Amino acid sequence: MLGALREFLGLGLLIGGCGLLMLFFQPPGTAQFVVSGLSALIGLLMVASVVFVQKRMNRLDPHDDD
């Protein structure tokens, strides 16, 4: 389970980071700008969901390392 969370976190950072980086290079008001902003938002949501699940797992069973 921890490996899957790490992969999901990495994917969220990649999607969100690339979307945020591309946001600065797209002209405002275009479809590319909107897609870059939405991908940054999706990446942020993925990272937030990993943090939420990890905290929830630690609260339920703090001694389980798997």
* pLDDT at position 40: 96
For the cut 70, the answer to whether the pLDDT of residue 63 exceeds it is: no
- Residues 6 or more apart in contact with residue 8 via CB below 8 angstroms: 46, 49, 50
- Residues 6 or more apart in contact with residue 3 via CB below 8 angstroms: none
For residue 44, being part of any structural domain is answered with yes
For residue 65, being part of any structural domain is answered with no
Domain span at residue 50 reads: 2-60
Q: Domains in the chain: how many in total?
A: 1
Tokens of 29: 């008001």
* pLDDT at position 62: 62
pLDDT tens per residue across span 2-50: 788 899 999 999 999 999 999 999 999 999 999 999 999 999 999 999 9
For residue 15, being part of any structural domain is answered with yes
